[in-house]
Structure 1
Amino acid sequence: MFLFYTILYSLFIATFRIFSFTHPRIKVFFQIRKSKPDFQALKRRTKKGRDLYWFHASSVGEYEQARAVACVLKEKKKNCFIFFTVFSDSAYYQRKDDQIHDAFFALPFDFPFVMKKWISQLNPAAIFYARYDVWPNMARTAKQMDVPQYLISAAVTKTSSRWKGISALFHRKVYSFLTKIYTMDLNSASFLQEQNLPAQFAGDTRYDAVVEKLQKEPVSISRWKKDLEKWIKKAEYSLLAGSTYPTSEKMILQWMKENSDRKVILVPHHVNQNHSDEIRQLAAKLKIPTLFFSQWQKKTGSIPEKTRLIVIDETGILPYLYSLSMVAYVGGGFEGSVHSLLEPLASLATILTGPAFQNAPEANVLKQKGFLFSVEKPDSDCFHTAFKKAMRVANNNRIPMEEFLKSNLGASRKIVEDVLGQGIE
């Protein structure tokens, strides 16, 4: 089974290599893997009993889940060495300068000989995988070398293609190499236990990650955020729209045209000149006075009184802006999968999104509690109806949302304490 996987994986990498000559994104995939650890230097840095813990995450979201555990681990074992790998180029470039890790690389290719070299040279005290990104040869090699392995914030469903047919047999074998699987929810734990796998419910470390991030708002953001807050509070009704796409942007701007007392802060998911030009043209067509963040920052003056729409054409700011409005729209719901719902939740903002939100494990619970409302179609009338529902409950939602948030904190600490042998409640 593993030989067959390795052959298929080799063919996949070879094919990818050919496409890398013409496809820039695939070329980057190989470029970031040219940087490799200096194993001898790492050994010098980890001598004298300094344990190395290897954390791996697929992309940015999973990185934050793993990071939350790494933070607690470093708090408990101040002298430990945090070694991080990521799979995607987006996570590599966005998180390579993070202060939590002591070393950071792209995950090497999952060949047995490569993993044997890395694991034997690093000699990790344990390996942590985030969410689902357990690589077969890596997990198998670590098991053979008696390295404890843990999967954190795991979420699985019986309907997933990973757990059907031959794929289920393979995944069951790979997961059997793990010392313990910490799940996000009770259903995942029950399902994995039925597969005779070492699963245990611990909770979702994303809650810890989001709250920790918002508590450390950069001073550079806090300075100009106060001006945004003054501006948006002058409106009777306001909206923070995050991770938006053209479909939702057209809907929201049309809604603004039909309701002249609205002010909106728009944070597009894709930030580039072409997209900015499209938003600028649409706003001009609908006669909505608009200010772009980059334009405002260059002038460093006050926000013009007539401005009704501010477009944040810069990345990395969105999580800190949800607190500016009692109602937030989260994009992706008309594109197949909604973006992070936990950031507006942590800011106690009642949430609007499109109908495709089942990819977010917490979405159904948030909807049942009245913290989330779905906009069924991307038109201004449907949006207006959902917005009115959200506004009616937004103020009363804040206390129960805070209680819900607090009840979901602590998964990272539970995991670390269990791993270190101090028990889990």
Structure 2
Amino acid sequence: MLRVLYSLLWLVALPVALLRLVWRARKEPGYLEHVGERLGRYGHLPANGPWLWVHAVSVGETRAAQPLIEALLAAYPSHRLLLTHMTPTGRQTGAQLFGKEPRVLQCYLPYDLPWLVSRFLRYFHPAAGMLMETEVWPNLVRGARRAGVPLFLVNARLSPRSYRRTARFGRVAAAMYSDFAGVLAQTAGDAERFNALGVEAVQITGNLKFDMQPAPASVERGGHLRQAFGERAVLAAASTREGEEPMLLDAFSRWQRVGGEVPRPALLLVPRHPQRFDEVAAMVARAGFTVQRRSAMDIDHLSAPITADVVLGDSMGEMAMYFAASDLAFIGGSLIPLGGQNLIESCTVGTPVLVGPHTFNFAQATNDAIAAGGCLRVADADDLIGTASRVLSDPARLADMRAHARTFAGLHRGATTRTLAALARALGT
């Protein structure tokens, strides 16, 4: 009965969901493209497989899926890869990563109504499906089981907060997760929480994000960008969220006025959501800073030093470049209670990390990075700037943190191999 009620609620909400696409398209026109796919209409796409299906809702999940997708393409040369998303930015990221791979096809996942899910599964009928991290849709999961499609939750994470919310549904939650062929958890803590929900088919395979390797060209371009700052120290504020930028800019202003042993530092500010780029650029200007936008720069032919107080990273798919251009990186979503973002990519390129008090979405990785010496936790924006000033004015300490960050990232690799082994058993290979 609960599943029927859920489906009825979805049916009632469907017009609202479609209107929401129109609303969001005001800032991100991509939301009005391929709308038919969200309603299970795929006749314009080739159906010939066999297909392996990976669902990555948005940018972070798509990037995390990269090593798995590359491994699947190599391990199953006779299969094609269906990559589904829910956001235009996720789809754009997938196109950047795999647009030149003829065996990869991208589309949107349909809304979670039984008949829309059935259309999707009938059209492609994948040999196996993989949902990234936290993307659990009850009708999709049940529909896959009924269609004989083994479905896995891969790189799965379940924070204590999410566990408490999910546990309220008791046996209903357990029944939903039991429809998965397997849950491949990032950490022992995630696995314990899944087990506590009554999920039995749980394996610990690790975090795929540790297996992400930045493109050498991106790191090289980051080096070019770093050179343009000259002797100025560069602090990146990456994946910042609404409400964080004012706090950061206020504290950064005081840092510039005080000066000290870090002469005129530069802030490389990268908002998480592209629809906020213009808003944040205006915010920086109102705060009295000079600002230079990445979109107006030719990184490969920088002919003059960067003198702006703030460089706005208003581009997609270049986070590795931004980290490589920085001496120290703050990871956003952690000054306010949003749970933080992925710090692994910064550590991989050897840029040590600062995080705020709220990192519950990436608790294990953050705690491990702190224990390894590649990350420091700060209490608020003022503490962030104070800590950054102390680290950046101490070359020996900064070099030590760089080495620890790289070591931390290297020690946790191997999730792709373990995930592939679990999938191979389901595929009978």
Structure 1 length normalisation: TM-score?
Answer: 0.83
Q: How has the CA–CA distance of structure 1 residues 349 and 300 changed in structure 2, closer, same or farther, with 3 Å as cutoff?
A: closer
Match for 1:105: what amino acid? C
Contact 2:223/2:324 (<8 A) preserved: no
Which residue of structure 1 aligns with residue 82 of structure 2? 83
Which residue of structure 2 aligns with residue 257 of structure 1? 257
Structure 1 Cα separation of the partners of residues 23 and 296 of structure 2: 35
Structure 1 Cα separation of the partners of residues 21 and 308 of structure 2: 45
Structure 1 Cα separation of the partners of residues 311 and 65 of structure 2: 33
Q: CA deviation at 1:306?
A: 5.5
Give the alignment partner of residue 402 of structure 1, picking from 382, 401, 406. 406
Q: CA deviation at 1:207?
A: 1.5
Q: Is 1:3 the equivalent of 2:16? A: no
Deviations 1:390-421 (A, max 9, x none): 75632123333323212211111211122113
Q: Is 1:371 the equivalent of 2:367? A: no
Q: How many residues align?
A: 404
Q: CA deviation at 1:238?
A: 3.7
Matches within 5 A, 1:179-328: 179-194=181-196, 195-209=198-212, 211=213, 214-218=214-218, 222=220, 225-235=222-232, 237-244=233-240, 245-259=245-259, 261-269=263-271, 272-284=277-289, 291-297=292-298, 302-304=303-305, 309-328=310-329
Identify which range, 265-274 or 109-118, moves more after superposition: 265-274
Supply the RMSD in Å over aligned alpha carbons: 3.1
Q: How has the CA–CA distance of structure 1 residues 56 and 248 changed in structure 2, closer, same or farther, with 3 Å as cutoff?
A: same
Q: CA deviation at 1:240?
A: 2.8
Structure 1 residue ranges, 4+ long, deviating more than 6 angstroms after superposition: 25-28
Match for 2:69: what amino acid? A
Contact 2:237/2:267 (<8 A) preserved: yes
Q: How has the CA–CA distance of structure 1 residues 179 and 258 changed in structure 2, closer, same or farther, with 3 Å as cutoff?
A: same
Matches within 5 A, 1:45-124: 46=49, 51-96=50-95, 98-99=97-98, 102-124=104-126
Deviations 1:120-148 (A, max 9, x none): 22121101111121221111121112211
Q: How has the CA–CA distance of structure 1 residues 253 and 416 changed in structure 2, closer, same or farther, with 3 Å as cutoff?
A: same
Contact 2:83/2:107 (<8 A) preserved: yes
Q: CA deviation at 1:291?
A: 4.3
Match for 1:417: what amino acid? A
Q: CA deviation at 1:277?
A: 3.2
Structure 1 Cα separation of the partners of residues 45 and 388 of structure 2: 59
Q: CA deviation at 1:39?
A: 7.5
Q: Which of 1 and 2 has higher RCO (CA within 8 Å, sep 6+)?
A: 2
Identify which range, 141-150 or 356-365, moves more after superposition: 356-365
Q: CA deviation at 1:65?
A: 2.5
- Compare CA radii of gyration and give the structure with the larger one: 1
Matches within 5 A, 1:7-46: 7-17=8-18, 24=25, 31-35=33-37, 36-38=41-43, 41-43=46-48, 46=49
Q: CA deviation at 1:272?
A: 3.2
Structure 1 Cα separation of the partners of residues 360 and 381 of structure 2: 18
Structure 1 Cα separation of the partners of residues 22 and 238 of structure 2: 35
Deviations 1:184-203 (A, max 9, x none): 00122233234142000000
Structure 2 Cα separation of the partners of residues 401 and 21 of structure 1: 43
Q: How has the CA–CA distance of structure 1 residues 240 and 113 changed in structure 2, closer, same or farther, with 3 Å as cutoff?
A: closer
Q: How has the CA–CA distance of structure 1 residues 94 and 63 changed in structure 2, closer, same or farther, with 3 Å as cutoff?
A: closer
Q: How has the CA–CA distance of structure 1 residues 8 and 385 changed in structure 2, closer, same or farther, with 3 Å as cutoff?
A: same
Which residue of structure 1 aligns with residue 350 of structure 2? 348
Q: How has the CA–CA distance of structure 1 residues 64 and 127 changed in structure 2, closer, same or farther, with 3 Å as cutoff?
A: same
Structure 1 Cα separation of the partners of residues 111 and 166 of structure 2: 24
Match for 1:357: what amino acid? T
